[in-house]
Amino acid sequence: MLLDSVVATVPWSLGGRSDMRIYVEGIGLLGPGLNGWTNSIPLLRRSGGWKMTPLCVPDPVSLPAVERRRAGQAVRLALAVGFEAHANAQRDPSMTETVFTSSGGDSPSLHTNCEALAGANPEVSPTRFHNSVHNAPAGYWGIASQSREPSTSLCAFDASFAVGLLFSAIHVLIDHRLVALIAYDVPYLEPINHVRPIISAFATSLLLVHEKTDHAIACLDIMRMDGEKCSSLPVMDTDMTTLSLGTPAGRSLPLLVAIASGAPMTVEIEELPEHHLEIQVSAC
């Protein structure tokens, strides 16, 4: 696979190191009962107290009015956490390379398109078709942030967050670029939800740099390991574990819990078959 060939270049590119050390400057977070990174830190730091309450996604005020009306929930989620991460790090979003990763993209638009194509009059809404394209959030991001920096859109089923993190770390370290990783997912409608259930909309963003800065809040030492993950996760209550396992972008929650705790911790996240990421997290 292309990702495997890129990963193979990392050790010699990093002077023989087999691990990847990167730093987190800013975080964005939106999920049920998790309304922004700063507001969510107390909930992530303790086991219990978090409740899976309805998610309220803000309007993307950074978009012009026409694009704002066209933006679906997936785009609004991605933009909200991306801008929050930049605000927390006091960085200019127009100057940042982006990596968007999602298991299903704008799944409601995909559902609507399938319904239209299966109907007696198979005409697809141009807006729905536009939003169903997997890199649509990247396009909206470029408009909202006025960025002309490179952007990549990825998809890897339940491993979408892990693959996005690995891909972003490689770019940060090889190119010495500031990279915003933006992971998001929204549920499917029935009947697709029956075979591919995603229990809630969820999104997070990590603003990543190659060296420690004044705004760095966490250091991540990432190792790509053979085999399935086997270690215990950071302590999370049953409901939060359910959210983590039930939403592809929510697979980031153990890492977010570790960062919020401020204590040294090791997290393992499933990646592609026969691989997982082992991440040693420490505060800056």
Give dist(CA 110, CA 124) in Å, integer. Answer: 10
The answer on pLDDT for 144 being more than 90 is yes
pLDDT tens digits along 173-182: 999 999 999 9
Indicate left, alpha or beta for 262 from its phi (over 0: left) and psi (-120 to 50: alpha): left
The answer on pLDDT for 18 being more than 60 is no
- The band of 17, judged by pLDDT with boundaries at 50, 70 and 90, is very low
The answer on pLDDT for 41 being more than 50 is yes
The pLDDT assigned to 44 comes to 92
Residue 266 carries which DSSP code? E
What mean pLDDT is predicted for residues 18-45? 93
Summary mean pLDDT of the chain: 89
- The band of 54, judged by pLDDT with boundaries at 50, 70 and 90, is confident
Beta-carbon-side half-sphere exposure of residue 193 (alpha carbons within 13 Å): 15
Delineate the domains of the chain, giving CATH numbers in brackets. Answer: 2-283 (3.40.47.10)
Give dist(CA 252, CA 128) in Å, integer. Answer: 28
- The band of 12, judged by pLDDT with boundaries at 50, 70 and 90, is very low
pLDDT tens digits along 239-259: 888 999 999 999 999 999 999
| Coil, helix or strand at residue 112 | helix
Give the pTM.
0.91
The answer on pLDDT for 125 being more than 50 is yes
The answer on pLDDT for 132 being more than 90 is no
Structure tokens at 149: 């920096």
